[in-house]
Structure 1
Amino acid sequence: MKHWMGWLLIAGLVAACDKKTEAPGAGAPPPTTASASAKQAHENEPHEHASPHGGLVESSSRGHVELVASRDGKYRVYLLDDDMKVRPVEGASGSIKVAKAGYPNVVLAPEGDHLVGEGPAHTDEHLAMVVTVVQGGKPETLRFNAHLEAKGHAAAGAEGMKAHDHTPLQGGMVAMSGELHLEVLSQRSGEVRVWVTDAFRKPVPLEGMKGTVNAGGQSVPLTPEPGGQFLTAKLSPSDQERETTVRLPMPGDPEYFITFLLTPKDARAAAASAPIKSEGRAAPEAMQEVTINVAGGYQPSEVSLKKGVPVRLRFIRKDTGGCSEELVIPDFGVKKALPGLTETVVEFTPDKTGTFPFTCGMGMLKGQLVVN
């Protein structure tokens, strides 16, 4: 009897394993509460995406959506499943709303394995776009921050590569010029390092690149280090935060510059720095105070608060880029300008519990308030 029960158990395990490998189709049982919760967690948590067609990818309730937009006003939209495989577009329709005054909504229609649309050409390199696709009566709506090239978001054949990841790879601060990324790091020794990478954060040749770094009344040359891995400049040693401007001629922008409020770091620990969570704490006057640095993102990006206790959020913008110039906390009626290189104080009293998003005006930079 025990032998029979053992064989039945093994058969059941094999059947369960086979079931996991089957593709979902008609007659497949609905997802369990646990699997649905896992899928929802995947959609809500930040995670990296490949770009099968060299575009921008965002998570949706039905998998993923990829947008490929070009400077000449042409658009391609791919519907992808959880494994980044193309979903059929039969019977689908959609539209693209471009955040640009006077620009008409673009109508999307199926063509082959994707949807296409066309509108007026663009002169802008960076634009926010909202894509809506309806299939089977179910809409998918996603927001993208498009970086436009003449022939599309990125070069063709970029399968498996990550597009426009703004994560500081060296512990510095990230800015953009066209499709190139610049990461700037200040060290206590006074050295300023600048890494230049392409749309997919791959290093670009630095030969012939040179510029200047300005801080505290000093102007020093910025040139490639002997190994050619990054550009370097030497300011006077400091462990104090200071306004630093990097001027570096870039393709398409010979007068490019970016200004940050940089806090010098220890050279050994610089690359190990990572965003951390911040716990809101009540001051003696029953005021919760949290400082949030703004430079290509929010740090910390999650802030814990107590319901009913007044809160003072100090947003310190450490860059001059356009994306982070406005703060929106819709659930608490906050919409406020964040001038570059200054501190802006936001005060309110959280009167409800839950998790509430805060974003830049374009919805590109994201954080959340957790009120208990």
Structure 2
Amino acid sequence: MPEDTVLIIEPDFSGHRWRYAEWAAHAYVEAGYRCVIVTSPANAGHPLVEAIRGGARPQLEIALVAPPARTSRRGLSSISYVRFHQDFRHAFRVVSRDRSVALVVVPYVDYFFLALPFLGSPFGSTPWVGITMRSNFHHCEVGVKAPRRPLVNALKARLFVRAIRTAGLRTLLTIDPTLTEWWSAIARGHAGRAPRDAAIDYLADPFPDACAAEPALAKARLGLGEGRHVLVYGAITARKGVFELACALAARPGDAHAPTLVIAGAQDEDVRGPLREAVAKLVPAPVVMDRFISGETELDLFSACDAVWLGYKGHYGMSGVLVQAYRFGKPVIATADGLIGWFCRTGELGPVIDDLSAAAINGALDRVLAGPREPLPEGRHLLERNTLGQFKQTLRQTLKQVIA
């Protein structure tokens, strides 16, 4: 079987999706399998594509497959779930024509997962594994603070249970540990798994191993001054809560202990102008890096800053920034909503706020920047599992479901 091929299909290389495809490929190559990452021709110039084509790993290939041709009358293709199902089926058929495929891996199965009860597997009888990142219909049932949508959530729950029984699906991996809890309760209520149910396992959202730099040296490289610094990191949109944070800092005029705001990451066009105005009068003056952040700069940012802002709005999923903050031992200021709030609910990782008022934010800032905090005992928190090594190990374990 190691002579067979593992196909990893991911048409979109934006955000973290290309990293999931890359890390999954490395996991299976290291296990002795040939891997082909299948993506759209639109990604031909992406660094991952160029690295694979110029690399020295003969067992790792890249395949660029355009979506199937469609007529002007799109019919069911106008439904995104159906359209993506068609795209994945087409990509699989094209690439598998001259290969013996042992396994298909879908790093972001939410593209078409809820269409499975109606359309079946896009990969025929070939075993496959999917990773879900947006399944949140169960949150209100497991103590995660999220909007209550009883009818929508009930419908999605029924579709989810039916999708799990899709032929060929061996394992559904989730970056949300509460989904596995919910599924265990469902299975107990139905006297165990049905024979066709796929396994549902937790896949800890990874952050590669990295050693923090010496804070003073990191500050010097970044051009940061003295005093405390609060980091807002990643793709900068209004949902980051950055306007509320700026408003709270503006309410601290003349405060000698006010931290410096550091905003690092490419900004949305809708945010850039208003954000420039919102931070223009802050004292100390903010540090704004409106660009793609390299790995070296990222390491320095998390090493140099004293706290990390996670006061997001309308975001109920997982956050890679939370994992990064934990890995670097930096306290966070977190919203109580969604998985961020669920992971931070004990307060060990930093203050949790129920609203984004200036008073609540400044109170949290005062607490988190008051002085040194007790480090978490090693191995105690669930986030300890969010390593690249654990990620690869979990993916390789899915092969047992295929062999079985």
TM class, shorter-length? 0.3 to 0.5
The TM-score, its normalising length taken from structure 2, stands at 0.31
Q: Which has the higher contact order (CA 8 A, sep 6+)?
A: 2
Name the one with the larger helix percent: 2
The TM-score, its normalising length taken from structure 1, stands at 0.33
